[in-house]
């Protein structure tokens, strides 16, 4: 998390040691001050790049994919196309990172208009009464470089359930004049926890007409405000 700053400081220390051995101490004070100033500037730039920023999701390059077991023999896939959200991301103090993401349930897309209409209806999402599904983070922990564990509350169909998501490929950079960040989040839910039980076999939750476990992948690209 602080590799950039540590690398800068270590490089500065090595340069100072090498200079002492090579007799650089005879160089004028103004030159020494110039080196010190450059090192200090490098640290300041590194800290500035890692400083906390607020990002808005780019809906054109973000979305939600889902997978659910069908008839106990295959997996069925679909996606949600309308996603918005705000992310506060801080690589130096990851515990300060937070996010709120909202998905319009009516944007479900399974490549079949008739099936999409059924999913939006009262048997499943009931999008007229519950038009949004939301996720609000409660904590985040860095597991390794670019990999995080994200805890939060997921609300759908009038119910709120705590979830744990794994974040991968978390990164932030500048591109085309904008500060951007992105990640992929993976987690699963049970639709029965949200009282969506149509075609669910209580005796064999994953072997009936439609499984209980729904695996979700959220892919995000966001632009700093």
114-138 residue pLDDT tens: 999 999 999 999 999 999 999 999 9
Alpha carbon 154 to its chain's center: 14
CA distance 21 to 56: 51
> Does position 12 have pLDDT exceeding 50, yes or no?
no
- Across-strand partners of 215? 67, 188
Query: CA 13, CA 183: separation in Å to the nearest integer?
Result: 34
36 closest CA partner among 23, 24, 48: 24
Strand partners, 53: 89
CB within 8 Å of 6: residues ≥ 6 apart: none
Instruction: Give the span between the Cα atoms of 7 and 128, in whole angstroms.
Output: 54
Degrees, nearest 5: CA angle 171-173-174:
160
**Higher-confidence residue: 157 or 15?**
157
* Cβ atoms of 57 and 220 closer than 8 Å: yes
Mean pLDDT of the chain: 84
- Facing residues of 154 across strands? 135, 161
By mean pLDDT, which of 91-95, 159-163, 185-189 is the weakest?
Answer: 91-95
The average pLDDT across 78-82 equals 97
Q: Are 111 and 82 in contact (CB under 8 A)?
A: no
């Amino acid at each position: 998390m602080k590799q950039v700053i540590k690398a800068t400081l270590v490089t500065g220390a090595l340069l100072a040691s090498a200079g002492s051995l090579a007799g650089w101490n005879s160089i004028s004070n103004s030159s020494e001050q110039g080196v010190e100033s450059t090192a200090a500037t490098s640290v300041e730039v590194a800290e500035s790049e890692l400083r906390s920023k607020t990002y808005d999701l780019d809906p054109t390059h973000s979305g939600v994919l889902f997978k659910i077991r069908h008839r106990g023999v295959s997996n069925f896939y679909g996606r949600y196309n309308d996603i918005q959200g705000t992310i506060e991301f801080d690589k130096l103090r990851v515990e300060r990172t937070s996010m709120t993401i909202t998905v319009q349930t009516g944007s479900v897309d399974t490549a079949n208009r008739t099936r999409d209409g059924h999913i939006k209806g009262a048997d499943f999402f009931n999008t007229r009464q519950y038009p949004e599904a939301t996720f609000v983070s409660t904590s985040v922990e860095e597991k390794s470089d670019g990999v995080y564990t994200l805890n939060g509350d997921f609300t759908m169909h009038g119910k709120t359930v705590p979830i744990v998501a794994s974040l991968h490929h978390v990164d932030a950079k500048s591109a085309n004049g904008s500060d951007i960040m992105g990640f992929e989040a993976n987690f699963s839910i049970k639709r029965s926890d949200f009282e969506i039980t149509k075609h669910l076999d209580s005796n064999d939750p994953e072997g009936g007409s439609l499984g209980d476990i729904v695996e979700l992948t959220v892919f995000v690209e966001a632009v700093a405000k």
